[in-house]
């Protein structure tokens, strides 16, 4: 039951009056509607930990889950809700899109929460910059996912006599061995965001970090129209022969399940896939192996989940919304959430002792790649370019992946044109 309360008399003020019996006082219990797309096994467990943390503060959680990996469906639903003047309190929005939404004037300023929580000191600058619009926080970061991972079933590899690949030549040797052993070499979900996830891994592994940055972050036309790009596209398309005929339309978590069950040998996916392995009771190093996607060990493509906070009219709900933001940046939540989600904490200084080897490697590679200049935003996960450009490139990549006729050269021209989308 929501008790009547004076929003100005906030939890903070209550905390100051230590002599009073807390539970007897009317606490400002608000409701926070949260839009997200965390519906798979591992994702749902992680989302549940966020809901529980909010409820612990006395607020209620209104779930607004829109299924669909990568979040394209969620973004479409969000647009129609905001246009009709009915925005949720918080929505999972990432990367440059945060700026687009802020420019619309619909996001709330949460500088007071950020200041009280010392966010500027606790976040890498590359992250805090993205959470701010005109110098003010409008979003809270949740975690850091690494995209350039390859997930391997070691039993399947053993059966095929295959070795975990560290470059693309080795990848094709392993894929061939798995195929000969009667296994599906690559579990792929043929949805455009998964095609682009694989493509960016190939671009990084075949072209290298500088090429990745020039072509997929800076959208440099010379890099997009280069011999390297043609080679990347050729390599990307070669992978298709190692996927199964049921891959079109498959959800990413079903592809993970194929690796978990040993029907398939490997999957290219960010480390939210680890959340699926863990939720299925599998242990890293034993039941599954995480290794950087071929040729990308020294680089790190990042994908930072974040929640943008929308302007609300109801003052109590707005206080609850701020409590949600503060909770997300809390060290306990940062740990629990990432343990379930497969990611690493975004807040610096969170202890990694409860995390597994994959997460520890991710954490150390995040730091070393930042120093080496090989920390790169994932284009497939909304980190690198405006969403309209990403959408156009994504369509061109999938068209090439699905076509029997389109040459790498034709695809290259289409992608270069897509990169000019305004």
User: Would you mind telling me the total number of residues written for the chain in this entry?
Assistant: 422
User: Which is nearest to 12 in space by CA: 22, 3, 2?
Assistant: 22
The β-bridge relationship of strands 375-377 and 300-309 is parallel
Structural tokens at position 77 = 């639903």
Minimum distance between the CB of residue 159 and ligand BGC, rounded to whole angstroms? 29
User: Which is nearest to 368 in space by CA: 209, 257, 164?
Assistant: 209
What's the number of CA atoms in the CB half-sphere (13 Å) around residue 336?
Answer: 16
- Out of 271, 305, 365, 390, which residue is the one contacting ligand BGC (CB under 6 A)? 305
The β-bridge relationship of strands 31-36 and 60-65 is parallel
Asked if 277 is part of the footprint of ligand BGC (rule: CB under 6 A), the reply reads no
Distances (CA, A) of 100 to 72, 387, 388, 422: 16, 9, 11, 13
Minimum distance between the CB of residue 254 and ligand BGC, rounded to whole angstroms? 12
Distances (CA, A) of 320 to 16, 159, 315, 405: 18, 53, 9, 54
The β-bridge relationship of strands 139-146 and 344-345 is antiparallel
Asked if 70 is part of the footprint of ligand BGC (rule: CB under 6 A), the reply reads yes
- Out of 33, 43, 335, 390, which residue is the one contacting ligand BGC (CB under 6 A)? 43
Minimum distance between the CB of residue 115 and ligand BGC, rounded to whole angstroms? 27
- Out of 30, 71, 294, 377, which residue is the one contacting ligand BGC (CB under 6 A)? 71
- Out of 291, 303, 336, 398, which residue is the one contacting ligand BGC (CB under 6 A)? 303
Asked if 213 is part of the footprint of ligand BGC (rule: CB under 6 A), the reply reads no
Q: Which residue stretch of 69-77, 156-164, 181-189, 217-225 sits at the interface with ligand BGC (rule: CB under 6 A)?
A: 69-77
In 225-299 the beta strands, taken as DSSP E runs, fall at: 264-268, 289-292
Cβ burial, residue 334 (10 Å; 0-12/13-18/19+): buried
Asked if 201 is part of the footprint of ligand BGC (rule: CB under 6 A), the reply reads no
Minimum distance between the CB of residue 46 and ligand BGC, rounded to whole angstroms? 8
Q: Which residue stretch of 53-61, 64-72, 130-138, 328-336 sits at the interface with ligand BGC (rule: CB under 6 A)?
A: 64-72
Q: Which residue stretch of 66-74, 176-184, 234-242, 346-354 sits at the interface with ligand BGC (rule: CB under 6 A)?
A: 66-74
Asked if 381 is part of the footprint of ligand BGC (rule: CB under 6 A), the reply reads yes
Minimum distance between the CB of residue 72 and ligand BGC, rounded to whole angstroms? 9
Asked if 69 is part of the footprint of ligand BGC (rule: CB under 6 A), the reply reads yes
> What is the contact surface with ligand BGC in residues (CB under 6 A)?
37, 43, 69-71, 145, 252, 272, 303, 305, 381
């Amino acid at each position: 039951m929501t008790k009547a309360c004076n929003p100005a008399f906030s939890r903070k003020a209550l905390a100051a009056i230590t002599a009073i019996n807390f539970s007897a006082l009317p606490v400002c219990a608000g409701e926070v509607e949260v839009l997200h797309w965390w519906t798979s096994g591992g994702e749902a467990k992680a989302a549940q930990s966020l809901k529980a943390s909010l409820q612990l503060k006395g607020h209620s959680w209104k779930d607004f889950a829109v299924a669909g990996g990568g979040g394209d469906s969620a973004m479409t639903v969000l647009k129609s809700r905001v246009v009709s003047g009915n925005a949720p309190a918080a929505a999972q929005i990432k990367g440059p899109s945060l700026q687009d939404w802020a420019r619309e004037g619909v996001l709330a300023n949460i500088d007071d929460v950020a200041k009280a929580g010392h966010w500027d000191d606790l976040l890498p600058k590359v992250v805090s910059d993205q959470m701010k619009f005109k110098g003010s926080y409008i979003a809270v970061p949740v975690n850091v996912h690494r995209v350039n991972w390859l997930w391997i079933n070691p039993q399947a590899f053993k059966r095929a006599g295959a070795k975990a690949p560290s470059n693309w030549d080795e990848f094709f040797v392993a894929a061939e061995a798995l195929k000969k052993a009667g296994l599906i070499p690559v579990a792929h979900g043929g949805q455009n965001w998964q095609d682009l996830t694989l493509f960016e891994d190939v671009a990084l592994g075949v072209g290298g970090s500088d090429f990745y940055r020039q072509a997929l972050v800076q959208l440099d036309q010379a890099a997009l129209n280069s011999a390297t790009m043609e080679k990347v596209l050729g390599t990307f398309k070669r992978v298709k022969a190692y996927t199964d005929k049921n891959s079109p339309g498959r959800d990413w978590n079903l592809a993970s399940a194929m690796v978990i069950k040993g029907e398939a040998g490997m999957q290219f996916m960010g480390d939210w896939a680890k959340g699926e392995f863990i939720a299925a009771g599998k242990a890293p190093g034993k039941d599954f192996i995480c290794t950087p996607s071929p040729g990308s060990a020294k680089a790190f493509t990042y994908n930072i989940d974040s929640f943008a906070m929308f302007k609300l009219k109801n003052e109590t709900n707005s206080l609850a919304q701020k409590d949600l933001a503060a909770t997300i940046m809390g060290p306990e939540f940062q740990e629990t959430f990432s343990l379930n989600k497969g990611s690493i904490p975004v807040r610096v200084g969170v202890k990694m002792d409860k995390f597994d080897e994959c997460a520890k490697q991710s954490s150390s590679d995040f730091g070393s790649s930042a120093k080496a200049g090989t920390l790169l935003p994932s284009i497939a996960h909304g980190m690198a370019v405006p969403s309209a450009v990403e959408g156009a490139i994504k369509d061109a990549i999938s068209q090439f992946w699905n076509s029997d006729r389109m040459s790498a050269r034709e695809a290259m021209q289409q992608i270069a044109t897509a990169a000019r989308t305004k």
